[in-house]
Structure 1
């Protein structure tokens, strides 16, 4: 039950925004204070691409095939997760938190696990695979409490 102690940091993120909160109480009656947020402007891939996908000459006469273009939207999502892991490392290194709970979609959790420094991962007390970035803080408190009690 000590996973959600006073001072525990809670990061609620998806692939484009993150909400940073600190628990002011305990698991019995969580009270999250929003301490910051990060957001990335990530338009659709079509809006970010400069040109149509390239084409290449095939071996047959007058035959051409389309080539896959870079998916800039997906690259930006991965870059956001990497930037978030760098920010968490900086905060952990400066001693701003001892316990961390990450709430994110399974895909984002996977990218974060690959990118996070051991100094951050050693402070993680729980991971909750849910997308809650558009939920009100009161609802996030309830969902986190329920998930920790069920674990």
Structure 2
């Protein structure tokens, strides 16, 4: 069976946006249709931090050291992978898809891979470690077709 067979889902994600697509046709001429879109508002860390970094007393006299503040921007990126894994699990439980291709930026792909439930893991038929979120759907179709047609 070809990777992009009919009804195969494709998740295209980065750390802030995700498209859930379904192939309406066959692998020879994929026609990906948007099933769902997810996006999180994730301003730069400076905009999310309320306080200046803390200070802590050192063992020496009259000495303090800066304490690293939480990077809220990075934390939100990690949580987005959690959110996507949860969405995929709920959709798999409802039998919305039997096969899925995950195309994501390498860092996101790694984080997502670690968080996927077994119910989703066995449905993953391919992974593409590229960020395709800013590509139009027809380009995503072509890129995936080319990648799997030569594989």
- State the TM-score, normalizing by the size of structure 2: 0.96
SS at match of 1:146: helix
Give the match for residue 108 of structure 1: 108
2:80 is aligned to 80
Partner residue, 1:40: 40
Task: List alignment gaps of at least 5 residues for structure 1.
Answer: none
Counterpart position of 1:5: 5
The superposition leaves residues 34-59 of structure 1 with CA deviations (integer Å, 9 ceiling, x where unpaired) of 11100000111111111010011222
| Dislocated runs of 4+, deviation >4 Å | none
Q: CA deviation at 1:127?
A: 0.4
Query: 1-side partners of 2:62 and 2:148: how far apart?
Result: 62
2:134 counterpart residue number: 134
1:15 aligns with 2:15: yes
Of stretches 54-63 and 101-110 in structure 1, the one that deviates more from structure 2 is 54-63
Q: Take 1:122 and 1:148, find their aligned partners in 2: how far apart are those partners?
A: 19
| Whole-angstrom CA distance in 1 between matches of 2:107 and 2:150 | 22
Distance in 1, Cα, partners of 2:120 & 2:149: 23
| Pairwise CA distance, 1:136 | 0.5
State the 1:72 CA deviation.
0.7
Is there any run of 5+ residues in structure 2 with no aligned partner, and where?
Answer: none
User: 1:60-119 deviations in whole A, cap 9, x for unaligned?
Assistant: 333221111111111111111101100000000100001100000111111111111001
Q: Quick one: distance in 1 between partners of 2:41 and 2:30?
A: 31
Matched residues, number: 151
Paired residue for 2:26?
Answer: 26
